[in-house]
Structure formats: structure tokens, C-alpha cells
A and B are shown apart, each in its own frame.
Chain A
Amino acid sequence: MSSDEPTHAPIAAALADAIGEAQVRTDAHLAKRLSQQATPIVVATPRNPAAAARVLRLAADHGWSVLPCGAGTHLEAGPVLKPVDVVIQSTNLNQVVEYSPADMVVTVQSGMPLSKLRHVLAEHNQMLPMDAPCTPAATVGGAVSAGLSGPHRVLYGTFRDLLIGTRIILADGRMVRTGGKVVKNVAGYDVTKLVVGSRGSLGFLTECTFKLKPLPLHRELCLLVGKSAQVDWVRARVMDSPLLPSAMEATNDAALIQAFISSRLGTDGPAAEWLLAIDCHENRQAAAYQTEQVLLLAADLGMHAEVIRGQDVERFWARHAKTWLQPGSVLRVQAPPTDMMSILNEWTQFAHERHVAATVTASLPAGVGRIGLWAGTVDEQVELLQELRARARQRGAASLLETAPKTVRSVVPMYDSPRLGTAERRLQAAVQRAFQSGGSHFPDTFAGGMTS
């Protein structure tokens, strides 16, 4: 920050001068969402990368603090920021730059909504297999920066595996490409990896290139209902088999279970505690075999099982996502698949004891679980989150506060891991500095994690 505290008006004026008045506004509400500041934030929505570069150069020149951002759908994350002068938003950079279906590679501007990209790709029977819960406005670049992932990471991996190139404007306004547009590339350092989950700390992302996958020709999903131990047993058996689940999600989401199971079973049905959804993106013959095997496993254990197909599968995942879009606090745990169900059980029990409404879900083979706390006061949530985190740590598991109200995030650090040592954090900070040379005005979006 420059010594003389700038106010928003001159910033807005200077930016309007540089990129046009229509692309600059001030936003008081956003200021409150992001940080404790009283002054409004100036929001710049450049229409092209050159304009974006001008914004950053001006900011570097004047010492303004800048936060890169997409549609702003995932801002309830990370540490609470020090005051921000300018938010540079990608929403006006929303074009397909290059799409070659035969190469199964697409390059889009970072502000393109994921929902729009999905339609573009579906026309060619292709998809970007990232199914994190998102609102329709959520942008490609925002999702990459936030490092989002969804249940189908079990088969397809995450952005880490799908993103093959980017364009970024550095803090000093210079443009760099990372990676490229070909699916294999080891020229130079794999800087693209750093961009995934970088939370805007490295630069303003203007363009992303992804590897694509064919849309599954056939959809078939097994839903198993039962006790935690049964779910875990099925997990172990499936993981030790050649079966190819595209997702294997365990959840105790009552609304989901109600919508897809209980409503059909009626009141006489078994008390459903856990739902295990095993999806399959293989061809019809393979899916039929997998379903048969999964149903045999379920029958062995006396679990209730159903199979849904086609559009119903989409509806199921949409309903699953819906729970995780409601406001609340979401804590993620990363643990060996063999530990996951017991961690989730423990967490659920804790939440229950504290009378905080909570849901858990986990992509079991990936070792990623989440608990969402949907009620409770700030103090209750903070206390519970710290307890949950401590339990995870006792088992050697890392945890990450993915989403939470500002009041919670100001107390609870973003990361906790028995493995994330000071040396790694120091390297992360050094990497960040390498990017910010000559600019260095991005707020530290990792502060909570880096310093705790």
C-alpha cells in the first residue's frame, strides 16, 4: 500500500480513464463481504486482456491492493482480507478462444461461466468433468483459482489433471502463458499446476486451456442405503475390485435420501442412515456388469439398493450439490479412504451432540470428505469446527475450511495439517513472491493457512 491512503473515488476515476467508464463500478456490499473495510471497493471488469493489464499496471503504479476474482460466487472462503482497493473481475472475459473437438481441448476466457461452457461442449458430446457444487454464474477461472472439485474426481481427477495451460497477467501488468494447448507438455516448469487453487494470489487469470473428456454414452447409478459399516465395507470391496466407479460418494444427507430413496420405500422402509452412490461412466455393457456386482455386494450385506439411469442420474447429482450451496461452514478433511467413514461418523456425532445441523459427504476413494454446518451461532460453529479439526488431526488427517461466514473465518485458520511444515509454507510464499515481483499488491489469500 502506498503511504497516502487512496479513497475509492480517484481510483474509480483513474480506472475508468484506462478501461472505460462502463467497466468500472464501486461496490460497498462487496467490501463488506470481503473484508472489514468501510470504504467501497472499486470493481473493474475489463473487456479484454489488454485492459486487464492496464488495470494491474495502474494498481502497481499507485500501490493499490488488487483482488482478482471471477463471478464472486465463492468469496466466503479463505482468510478475511486486509482492505482491498480494487477487485478485478473476469466476467467480461467470457469467450471461447479456441475449441477443437477433435483434439478434445478447449481454450476459454476465464470469465466464462462453467454452465455456459458445459453447453458449448455438450454440442460436441464432450465435457469438462468438474462437478463441484456451483451456481450457474460461477466462472471457469474462479473454479480453477478456488481449486474446486466434485464427486467425479474419483474417475477424472481434478483441475490439477485437466488444466493444461493458462494466460495470466502478473501483478506488474505483464502477460505470461503457462503450459500450452497440447495435452502433454514438459517444456519448462509446470507453472500451470501452481495456478490451480492459487486463489488469485499469483496474478489475474485471463484464459484457461483444458483437456476434455467424452460425455458418457450411458448413465447408470447404484444407490445403496445402510449403516456406516456397511458403506465402508462396500467401499473396501469396490476399491479392491476392477470395477470403475466414476464417483463413489457416501453421504448422510437426509433430504437427498428422502428425495431418492425414502419417498419410494414409504414408511415401512428401513431407517436410512447413509447413502452410497456408485456412478459409472463406462459403456452400457460394462455398466450393466458393474451394477450387477454392486447389487450382489449390497445383497450380501442386506443393504437396500436401487439403480437409476439416464436423466435421473443428473437429477441426483444436482440434488446432491444443492445441499452444499446453502450458506454455512464447510470443513473438508483429507484422509486415507480406510479412515474416512470413521472420521465422518465421529464428526456427525460431534455435530449432533452440539445440536448443530450438519451434513457430511465424501468421495471415498479420493480420500476427501466434507461436513457442512448449516446452523448454530458463530461461537458454536467455531468451537465445533475446532473440535472437528482436532479429531481429524489426531488421525493424521489434514483439514481445510472451504467455506464459512466471515466471522468464522476470522477465527478459524484455513488449513490444518500435520504434514504442512514451515519449510513448505516458506516455499509457497517464495513462489508467490516470484510471481509478484514488481507488483506485489495482491492480498495474501492464504494468510490464514500460511501463518497458523
Chain B
Amino acid sequence: MLSSSLIRELTEIVGPGGVIHDSKQLAAYECDAYVAQTGRPAAVVLPADTDQVAQVVRCLAQAGVPFLPRGAGTGLSGGATPMHHEVVISLARMDKLLHVDFANQRATVQPGFVNLELTRQVAQQGFYYAPDPSSQSVCTIGGNVGENAGGSHCLKYGVTTNHVVAAKVVLPDGELVELGDPYGDPLGLDVLGLLVGSEGTLGIATEITVRILKRPQAVKTVMAWFERVEDASDTVSGIIADGIIPAACEMMDQLAMQAVDKSMYHVGYPPDIEAVLLIEVDGLAAGVDDLAERVVEVCRRHRVRTVRVAKDEAERSLWWSSRKMAFPAIGRISPDYMVQDGVIPRTRLTEVLKTIARYSQEAGLRVANVFHAGDGNLHPLICYDARIPGQTEQAAELGRRILELCVDVGGSITGEHGVGVEKIREMEYLFTDTELHLQARLREAFNPRDLCNPGKLIPRPARCVEVKQAAAALASHTSHTV
């Protein structure tokens, strides 16, 4: 509980409707879209502008109360989960589009502005905002910055960090800083680049300037059904080897297809195919037909059963909904699921999927696979039932095995969902103590009192490690120079 004087102070800053502190109203803020771990916040504050955020942060910092920023709460790794009674600073009311400069292809938004809304607002003039996480109809650009969100089309167009050019940021002590430059390169060290993907541990972005792109003149979407996962994987490599960078290249396996076909986004996948690929090429109309034909040709070379190009926008949109709604659609075949976010070199796809299937059998838990095949970003969805004692732990253990597998083949534990609280342990598998120590020091540079989203992104004991590390370094160093 916060002291009543602190609540009064916060209320003075954001107004009476902007502070939720009644313990009965805080349960809804216990977690984001990652539900396996929860924590009750001390309060929720809903500021309306940069100045209010700065005042709120200053007020909390002075009181030594930890806090964390939250967008729409669609994060999949618990980045916005208050594990230490933090005050949740919800940016949901900061949902304005502040400025659009079409001629120079930049837009400035508040952090609570919804991703897809930006595309909607600039579509009339032929523009769009490229990063497109599956939750883009809900997730906020501030949240995207925090997580360095990706999406289906980042294969060709890059992830959030490639589109954020400048930001106003409230630092953990309440100071306001402007980072980045809207054009050209960062001047000096790219601090903005460090902030993007920092999961709210380095500060709170309150105004974000992003690139907006001209919509491609033409888009062709190809759907290909394969009897064997291997053929689908080989097709992905084959397309790339052909010198084509598709705008997107997505894969789903049998279980995922079954789940999503039960939702309102029913495509009607044949029950006996093992994998479906959704491949999109875009560009100038004159060149896109040729690209699509080449993609179809590569599919044919790899024993595709059926391959076709979307006949109209409605079909294309259905196919995409089928893909984008696949995660939550798992709710139709399993009471609970955990989604993993491992990344592997594209060429290891077949082998890794086989191993995942084996792990799945060993654990006795079903795993559906939905992923960005083009960039090797897997989303194994581990189905479980939390009501069965022990199954949550089994699912978590299976997830851990899968992530370690990704690391073992030269990949990473997370491609776009972030570390949050979920993958803290796997960070220790991926990084050495020295590396974690460096990251901890970077956090300290911004957030010396560790009040801003404590315990997220990097394991906390890194500071203890620091001591051990220093001793070890000293020892080896001495032995060398003697």
C-alpha cells in the first residue's frame, strides 16, 4: 500500500480519475498477456502527457517507490507484471497522434497510441507503419518500443528499432531527455537504440517519432500446403536462395491449423497436411507477378500439395487473420498455453522442429508451432492445463528445454517477445556472467536505484556475480602478468 500522502500527491498530478489505489481494483493489473506469474501493483496511475509522466516518476523516485510502465498489457513475457508491488504507470490514456509529416515520412505519437491506428490514420495518404505484431490492433507503440516488437513483415522491413528515429524519454529519476535525431544517424552513442527493447527498465518513452512508409504498390500473397514439414522448411530456404526477400514468410503446423480453423477465421486446411506457408511479396506492380510466380515455382520444386495466390483482398485478409489469430486461438484446443519465442538460424528449422516434437512427446504435452519462418523466429505454443497439478511446471520445463535447444543451435531465447520475467533464467544460459554484468552496468547508468521495472530483462544476481567476476578476473590477470 502507498501512503495516503503519496496517493494525494499522485492524484494532484493526474487528477482523481487517474489513480487506482483501492486494492479491490488492482487485481486486473496483476499481469499482462503472460499469465503464469502475477503480482499485485501498489497502485495504477494513468497520466495524460509527458509532463504528468515526469511528475509522477519524480514523485515516486523521491519516495523510493518502484514503478513500471505499461501499454496495452499485451506483452507475452511479463514485462509489465508488477512482481515487486510496483506502481503501474499505465500509458493507455496517452493515446494521441501528435504530429504527422507526410512529406518527410515521419509521425510522432504518444506511447499509448495503438500500433494499427497509426496505419489507419495515415492510410488515406498512402502510408503505413511497418512493424506489425500480431496484436497490432491492440498493442501500443510505446509497448512496441519497450519490447522492440517485431511482426510478420519484419523479414523485409525490420523490427521496431529500425523504425524509431527519436523519442522523448522520462528517465527513472524523472528527468526528461530527447534521444535520437529524426533524420540521418544518431549523434554519438546510439542511446535511443539501447532504449528500444529495454523493457521499461531504462525510462519511459512519452513521445515517439517513427518512420512511416509508402504502401507498396502491389502485394501478392501465396498460401502453400505441405504434407511434410521438411518440405515447407526447404521451401523457405529455397525462396531466399533464389534471391527473393519476401515481405513475410510464415509457417503453421498441423495443431495450430486445427486450432485456428475452429475460430471465426476458418480457412479450411486439409486435416492431413503438416505445414502451411504464407508467403507475401510486395513492391511495384510490374515486378510482383514475377516474384509471386517464382515463389510458387519454388514451392512446386519442394513437393507442395496445393499452392495458390490470394484471389482478392478479402482472401488475403482471411489468410492473414488465420495466421495472426493463431496464438489465442489455441485457447480453443487447450485451456492454457505458454508461447515461446526462440530464434534459430533458418537452415536449422527442420532439425529443430523434429527435436521439439520429440521433447513434446517426452513431456506428454502438445506443442503447436506458429512462426516467422523467414527469420527463424519460432513460436512453439505449449498446451497444458493448469488445473492438473504439476502441469504448469512441466510446461515451463518443456519451454526451457526448447529455448536451450535454440541457443544450442546458435540462436536466441527471444526474437520479439522480450525477456520480461519469463526468460530470466534462460538469460543465464545465453549470456556469460561478463555479458550480464555489462548489461547490469548499463542499466545502472540509467537506473541507478533500480526503481524502474526492477527485476526484468536481466537476472538480478548479476550484481553479486560482479563481485565474483572481479575476483576471478583479478586472479587470472595476476597469473598472466606474473
- Report yes or no: B240 in contact with A415, Cβ–Cβ below 8 A: no
* A residues less than 8 Å from B241 (CB atoms): 101-102
Interface pair B188/A282, CB less than 8 Å apart: no
Check: A8 CB closer than 8 A to any chain B CB: no
Q: Chain B CB within 10 Å — which of A105, A196, A335, A423 has the most?
A: A423
Cβ–Cβ contact B185 & A100, under 8 A = no
Answer yes or no: B178 CB below 8 A from chain A CBs: yes
User: At the interface, yes or no: B411 with Cβ under 8 Å from chain A?
Assistant: yes
Name A152-189 residues within 8 Å CB distance of B: 157-158, 160-161, 170, 172-178, 180-189
Indicate if A252 sits at the interface (CB-CB under 8 A).
no
A272 to B255, CA, bound (A): 64
Alpha-carbon separation in the docked complex, A243 to B187 (Å)? 30
Interface string of A91-114 (1 = CB under 8 A from B): 000000000111111000000000
Interface residues of B in 158-196 (CB under 8 A from A): 158-159, 161-162, 166, 171, 175-179, 181-191, 193-194, 196
User: A268 interface residue, CB < 8 Å from B?
Assistant: no
Q: Is the CB of B417 within 8 A of A183?
A: no
Given A157-B158, A419-B181 in contact, is the A185-B415 Cβ separation under 8 Å?
A: yes
Give the contacting residue for A337; candidates B103, B216, B414; CB below 8 A. Answer: B103
Instruction: Give chain A interface residues in 388-446, CB to chain B under 8 Å.
Output: 397-398, 400, 415, 417, 419-421, 423-425, 427-428, 430-435, 437-438, 446
Chain B 442-461 residues near chain A, CB threshold 8 A: 442-446, 457-458
Q: Which residues of B contact A157 (CB under 8 A)?
A: 158, 162
Known: A103-B346, A193-B190, A242-B217. A184 touches B416 (CB 8 A): yes
- In angstroms, how far is the closest chain A Cβ from the Cβ of B228? 19
- Smallest CB–CB gap between A346 and chain B, Å? 17
Complex interface: chain B residues within 8 A of A284 (CB) = 287
Q: In whole angstroms, how far apart are the Cα atoms of A25 and B288 in the complex?
A: 56
Cα-based distance from A147 to B186 in the complex (angstroms)? 10
B188-A428 in contact (CB<8A)? yes
On chain A, the residues within 8 Å of B7 by CB distance are: none
Given contacts A102-B241, A188-B419, A430-B446, contact A180 B412 (CB under 8 A): yes
Q: Which of B190, B214, B416 has the most chain A CB atoms closer than 10 A to its own CB?
A: B190
Instruction: Tell me if A366 is interfacial: C-beta within 8 Å of chain B.
Output: yes
Instruction: Decide yes or no whether B24 CB sits under 8 A from chain A.
Output: no
Contact flag A431-B470 (CB < 8 Å), given A182-B376, A244-B284: no
Give which listed residue, A178, A197, A283, A290, contacts B190 with CB less than 8 A.
Answer: A197
Identify B191's interface contact among A177, A184, A431, CB under 8 A. A431
A359 within 8 Å of B (CB atoms) = no
Nearest-CB distance from B467 to chain A (Å)? 13
Complex-state Cα separation, A189 to B440, whole angstroms: 9
Segment touching A, from B86-94, B318-326, B383-391, B473-481: B473-481
Distance of A170 Cα from B477 Cα, bound (Å): 14
Q: A100 CA to B434 CA in the complex, in Å?
A: 28
Bound: A159/B289 CA distance, A: 31
Say whether A193 contacts B194, CB under 8 Å: yes
Given contacts A184-B372, A187-B414, A290-B284, contact A430 B184 (CB under 8 A): no
* Residues B185 and A187 in contact, CB atoms below 8 Å apart: no
Set of chain B residues within 8 Å of A48, measured between Cβ atoms: none
Question: Is A368 in contact with chain B by the CB < 8 A criterion?
Answer: yes
B54, chain A: closest CB distance, angstroms: 12
Q: Does A215 contact B (CB under 8 A)?
A: yes
How far does the Cβ of B452 sit from chain A's closest Cβ, in whole Å? 14
Residues of A within 8 A of B372 (CB): 184
Q: Is A285 an interface residue (CB 8 A)?
A: yes
Q: How far is A332 from B196 in the complex, measured between Cα atoms in Å?
A: 26
A229 interfacial by beta-carbon distance below 8 Å: no
In the complex, what residues of B have CB within 8 A of residue A397's CB?
183
Distance A213 CA – B240 CA, assembled complex (angstroms): 10
B171 touches A187 (CB 8 A): no
Q: Name the residue among B175, B186, B346, B458 with the largest chain A CB count within 10 angstroms.
A: B186
Which stretch in B298-306, B331-339, B357-365, B425-433 binds the other chain?
A: B425-433
A419 engages B178 (CB within 8 Å): yes
> B15 near A: Cβ within 8 Å?
no
- B283 interfacial contact with A, CB 8 Å: yes
A306, chain B: closest CB distance, angstroms = 21
Which residues of chain A come closer than 8 Å to B266, judged between CB atoms?
none
Q: How long is the Cα–Cα vector from A419 to B344 in the complex, in angstroms? A: 39
A240 within 8 A of B: yes
- Asked whether, in the complex, the Cβ of A100 is within 8 Å of the Cβ of B187, the reply is no
Known interface pairs A176-B434, A189-B439, A189-B442; A147-B185 also in contact (CB < 8 Å) = yes
Complex CA distance for A173 and B237, rounded to whole angstroms: 39
B5 close to A (CB within 8 Å): no
Neighbouring A residues of B105 by C-beta, 8 Å: 239, 337, 365
Determine how close the nearest CB of chain B comes to the CB of A15; give it in whole angstroms.
13
Q: How far is the CA of A428 from the CA of B188 in the complex (A)?
A: 7
Taking a contact as CB atoms closer than 8 A, the residue among B283, B436, B457 that contacts A244 in the complex is: B283
Name which of B135-143, B147-155, B270-278, B394-402 contacts chain A. Answer: B147-155
Cross-chain contact A332 with B415 (CB below 8 angstroms): no
In contact, A103 and B158 (Cβ under 8 angstroms): no
Residues of B within 8 A of A191 (CB): 194, 438-439, 442
- Residue pair B376, A186 in contact (C-beta under 8 Å): no
Total number of A-B contacts with CB less than 8 angstroms? 291
Contact residues, A334-368 vs B (CB, 8 A): 334-338, 365-368
Q: Which residues of A contact B432 (CB under 8 A)?
A: 176-177
- Once bound together, how far apart are the Cα atoms of A163 and B177, in whole Å? 26
Question: What number of B residues sit within 8 Å (CB to CB) of A?
Answer: 99
- Is the CB of B198 closer than 8 A to any CB of chain A? yes
On chain A, which size bracket covers the interface?
A: 35 or more
Residues of A within 8 A of B21 (CB): none
Which of A61, A185, A397 has most chain B Cβ within 10 Å? A185
Q: CA A160 – CA B481 in complex, angstroms?
A: 38
CB contacts under 8 Å to B, within A211-249, are 213-215, 217, 236, 239-244
Kindly state the separation between the CA atoms of A243 and B218 in the bound complex, as whole angstroms.
11
What are the interface flags for A23-64 relative to B under an 8 Å C-beta threshold, 1 for contact and 0 otherwise?
Answer: 000000000000000000000000000000010011001000
Contact, CB under 8 Å: B237 / A176:
no
Contact pick for B427, options A188, A241, A336, CB 8 Å? A188
B284 close to A446 (CB less than 8 A): no
- Asked if A286 meets B477 with Cβ closer than 8 Å, knowing A102-B237, A174-B434, A191-B442, the reply is no
| Interchain CB contact under 8 A, B473 and A438 | yes
Q: Report how far A366 CA is from B183 CA in the complex, Å.
A: 6
Q: Complex Cα distance A104/B412, Å? A: 17
A-chain residues with CB within 8 Å of residue B343 when the two chains form the complex: 180, 182-185
- For A177, list chain B residues within 8 Å (CB): 431-432, 435
Interface pair B188/A335, CB less than 8 Å apart: no
Q: Which residues of A contact B288 (CB under 8 A)?
A: 286
Judge if B37 is at the interface, Cβ distance under 8 Å. Answer: no
Q: How far is the CA of A175 from the CA of B191 in the complex (A)?
A: 22
Contact across chains for A58 and B104 when beta carbons are under 8 A apart: no
Is A385 on the interface with B (CB-CB < 8 A)? Answer: no
Pick the most buried of A101, A104, A187, A214: most chain B CB atoms within 10 A of its CB. A187
User: Inside 8 A of A438's CB, which chain B residues have their CB?
Assistant: 470, 473
Hey, which chain A residues are within 8 Å of B190, CB to CB? 160, 193-194, 196-197
Q: Does A125 contact B (CB under 8 A)?
A: yes
A285 to B291, CA, bound (A): 10
Q: Is the CB of B345 within 8 A of A100?
A: yes
Kindly list chain B residues whose C-beta atoms are within 8 Å of the C-beta of A283.
287, 290-291
Q: Which of B103, B187, B411, B477 gathers the greatest number of chain A CB atoms within 10 Å?
A: B187
- Max chain B C-beta neighbours (<10 A), residue from A185, A189, A287: A189
Q: Could you show 13 A-B contacts with beta carbons less than 8 Å apart? A: A149-B185, A157-B158, A182-B411, A187-B413, A188-B458, A217-B243, A243-B284, A337-B105, A368-B183, A400-B187, A419-B178, A427-B445, A431-B189
6 new A-B contacts at CB < 8 Å, known A147-B185, A367-B104, A427-B171: A103-B346, A187-B413, A190-B161, A240-B103, A286-B288, A430-B446
